[in-house]
Structures are given as structure tokens and as C-alpha cells.
Structure 1
């Protein structure tokens, strides 16, 4: 009788059943843990988004202080359609650019953040485009002339460490400060990331020096800046209190 019991527990069927039960238990624990952590993850993402937006106007903070400073300095969140009209039914902060970019332009909405900081007003535009391996994204803030860049932040999903991933570094971000997005003829051209003899003191050339070995990522940054900013021009041109640089 004892021998039969031993043989039963050593059988393939018993081993398979034990493995199935173990997998189900582990899967249930992991699913419960993931579900439990979702609210925390969402809140962390909200705070990190606020940090990135604030960084473009020179306000640096940790996640813990992001909400308070965001409420203090971001005076307005608006969502626009392609004609520069405000879409009251959409919350700007909740707009997912990854999903919007999959739609035709006429169906997209465009979030815009307006900041009042240190006696100045800034307009902060979210960015998203394509790098070498995956999406790149960020924010860029414009002074109230809608031409001069106050600051920019960039992120990525999979650029090469030491090359394209360098777009997240402060030294690269600072290259965009005070650069102009309109050319001398009043055309909105953004800022191009280019190789060559770039004079960092020339803020009217619409160019910043590229990252060595990261040409495709640099091109992606250039493209997303010009493409995204142009979507906001209809709104800026409607605002009578704003002196837009275009002719």
C-alpha cells in the first residue's frame, strides 16, 4: 500500500498537477501585486509629468514637491483642436499623445500649459516623435513672444545609452535655451539638431549642435519640435495679447 502511494506521488500526472497549481498560485500573487501597485504607479507618472513640465520654465523639484509647485506656477491647462479652438470636453493633462498621433491630424487634440513664473508668462507644448529605436518625447516652453525658447526636456523609450539617450541630459537641454523657433522671414521652423560648426552664442540660427553618433535621434528631435509647434500656431495667432513672431 505504501509503495503504491509513493509511486502515485512520483507519477507524471502528479508532477504536472503540482506544476499547474504552482503556476496558478504565482500568477494570482503577481496579478494581485500588479493591481495593487497601479494607483501608486499612476501617481508617480503624474508627478513625473509635472516635474518635466515645470523643468522647462526652470523650476526643478522632486516628485514629492511636484504637485504643490505645479499648482502654484501652472495657471492654465487647455486642449485645442487643429484650428486653434479650445476643446472644453478634453482635459489637457490626461491627453495621451501616443494615442493622438495615431489619429488623422483633424481628429487630434493638442494640450497646452500656460505658466506664470517669476513675473513672466510661458506657453508649454508637449512633444512626441520617433527616435532611432522607439518613441522620443518631451516638453518645450516658449516665452510670451512665442519665438524664444525658455527651456526644454526630453525623454525616450529606447535610445542607445551614451548616444541617443543623451537627449535627456541637462547639457543637451541647455542648448535649446534662448533659441528662436521662427526664421528671419517669419516662418516657423523650430530648432534643428545638426552637425557642424554651430555657434552656441547665435540664438537666431534655429540650430543646436548635435550629439556625436546620434544622427537619427537628433533628426527625430528636430522633426518633432517643428511638427508639434506648428499645430499650435493657429491658436497663437488668434490671441490678440500675444505678439507672434510670424509675419
Structure 2
């Protein structure tokens, strides 16, 4: 074949495309188990961080097995679905289903003789999805800790939800008001409640109103699905909600 011809150029280019595509495909397939394992361990790290346990990625699985004593998949009515692996639930896909078809993962941690309940979160920010985890003390009302992440929020504004100073605002907040009504925790612009932990509110991020509102909505919407289960665990909640 004439190397100076157009046909040779096209043939050579086609061969190179096939070879490069093959190499990239092989690399992607080869790395996928490692990537999946890293995602798994990062998820474990985030779950543990809500109850104050910070570990390196390499130690995440061991710590998870030590402190997470139960993983529960709940149905809409608060009953347990024994046939669904809670950890395997992909919340990004799950939230697109109807409430009845969804399964709601719940993690139970045991630490220093105390029990904590950890709920995965998923919602919408300004530009794209936001997500995270929030843990509750065994009263199923007081927040132990929270961690948030995002896909495309603005650096220095909405992206600040990943920072410790913002996440720490949720510690010791309540998800039920003084009358026993479930209200979640609202992220409020211009909040002036100081260190009040009984008003169900925290201060919003300056200049990130929509992302802050997204965090509020995410917490309220996700936690609401767990109330039927909470009522079975803590009779005081069931009694308060009846009144």
C-alpha cells in the first residue's frame, strides 16, 4: 500500500483508533475492581464519620465491621426487607422510584456503649445532586453528626457544605420540635439563634441560598421516610405524633 496515499492515512488512523480504544477499554476493566473497592471504603468512611470515627481508607472496612452492628433495609411502612442488602442500595437510583418501591437503608452503630442510627441522604443543590449521611442518638431525635458532599456546587459557596465548620452546625440539633412534630433541620439564611439546639435550625452558607435550601429539603424528605420505623423503636415518638 502506498504510504503517501489517502487510503493508507485513513487505514493507519483507523488501526490506531482501534488499538487505543482497546487499551483504554482494557485499562478501565482492569481498574474497575480497584475503583469499586475505593468507592466502597469511602462510603464506609463517610458513614463512620457521622459518629465521630475518622479512619484512613485502608482501615475503613475493619472499623466498619467493628462499629456498625446492623444494616437494615426498610420498606415504606417501617418494616424490614430481609431480602435487600442495605449497603448495596444505590440511593441515586432509589430516589427515582415511588415511595412504595424504594428501600431505605439504615445503619446502626455501637460506640462507647451507645447506639446511633445513620441515615443516607440524597437531594438537589443549585447545579446538581447533593448527598450525605446524618446520624441520630438513640433518642432518634438528636443529631450526632452529619457529612455532606456534592457533584457540582460552586466553590467557595455551595461547595462549602463539605467543610467541617458547616457540618458541625448540625451536631446536637433536633429533628422533632418541642411539640413532638417531625420537622427536620432547616438551614436558614440570616439565622440569629446562636447556639440554640432546640429550634431545629442552623445558619446557612453565605451566598449559597439554593444549596442551603437543598440541604434542608434533603434532610426533611429523607428522614421523613424513617419515621414509621422510629415509632417502633421509640414508643415516645409514636405517642408524641399521635397527640
Q: TM-score range by the shorter chain?
A: over 0.9
After the TM superposition, list the runs of 4 or more consecutive aligned residues in structure 1 that deviate by more than 6 angstroms. Answer: none
Describe the superposition over 1:173-214 as per-residue Cα deviations: whole angstroms up to 9, x where unpaired. Answer: 100000011112211111111111422310011111000111
**The one of 223, 230, 233 aligned to 1:236:** 230
The alignment of Structure 1 onto Structure 2 pairs a total of residues equal to 240
Measure, in 2, the Cα distance between the counterparts of 1:145 and 1:32. 50
Describe the superposition over 1:152-191 as per-residue Cα deviations: whole angstroms up to 9, x where unpaired. Answer: 0001111111110110000111000000111122111111
Q: Which residue of 1 aligns with 2:220?
A: 226
Q: Alpha carbon RMSD of aligned pairs, Å? A: 1.2
After the TM superposition, which residues 59-208 of structure 1 pair with which residues of structure 2 at under 5 Å, given as runs? Answer: 59-208=53-202
Describe the superposition over 1:102-122 as per-residue Cα deviations: whole angstroms up to 9, x where unpaired. Answer: 111111000000000011100
User: Normalising by the residue count of structure 2, what TM-score does the alignment of the two structures yield?
Assistant: 0.96
After the TM superposition, which residues 46-65 of structure 1 pair with which residues of structure 2 at under 5 Å, given as runs? Answer: 46-65=40-59
Give the unaligned 5+ runs of structure 2.
none
Paired residues of 2:191 and 2:202 also in contact (CA < 8 A): no
SS of the counterpart of 1:10? Answer: coil
Paired residues of 1:112 and 1:125 also in contact (CA < 8 A): yes
Deviation (angstroms), 1:37: 0.3
Give the unaligned 5+ runs of structure 1.
none
SS of the counterpart of 1:105? Answer: coil
Deviation (angstroms), 1:239: 2.1
User: Normalising by the residue count of structure 1, what TM-score does the alignment of the two structures yield?
Assistant: 0.95
Measure, in 1, the Cα distance between the counterparts of 2:209 and 2:29. 40
Deviation (angstroms), 1:243: 4.2
